[in-house]
Copies of this chain bind each other. A is one copy, B any other.
Amino acid sequence: MTIRNNKDFGESVRLERLKRNMRQVDIARKASVRQALISELENGATSARLDTVLKVLAALDMDLSIVPRRKAEFDPTEY
């Protein structure tokens, strides 16, 4: 899943959290942040710090990786 802005990140967090049947407060506790922050991040309301991004991803058992840029995938909602 490629992340190009805060909204992408928020959507990914929400998606992965729901896949795991977790509540915001569960992620928050694992990542040692507030439930309110998870809400804000999922809604793309703020640009998290890298360490916060990493804590949240760790709570989801996910990693961040940097990769050569690829063209954007075809997005049917654009048509």
Known interface pairs A57-B66, A66-B57, A69-B62; A50-B1 also in contact (CB < 8 Å): no
What are some 12 contacts across the A-B interface (CB < 8 A)? A2-B64, A2-B65, A3-B54, A3-B64, A4-B63, A6-B50, A12-B66, A47-B50, A50-B53, A58-B69, A63-B67, A63-B69
* Bound complex: CA A68 to CA B15 (Å): 13
Taking A6-B51, A48-B50, A50-B50 as given, write out 8 further A-B residue pairs in contact, using a Cβ cutoff of 8 Å, ordered by the A residue number. A3-B66, A4-B54, A5-B54, A48-B49, A61-B69, A62-B67, A62-B69, A63-B67
Contact status B6-A65, CB under 8 Å: no
**A positions within 8 Å CB-CB of B:** 1-6, 9, 12, 16, 47-54, 57-58, 61-70
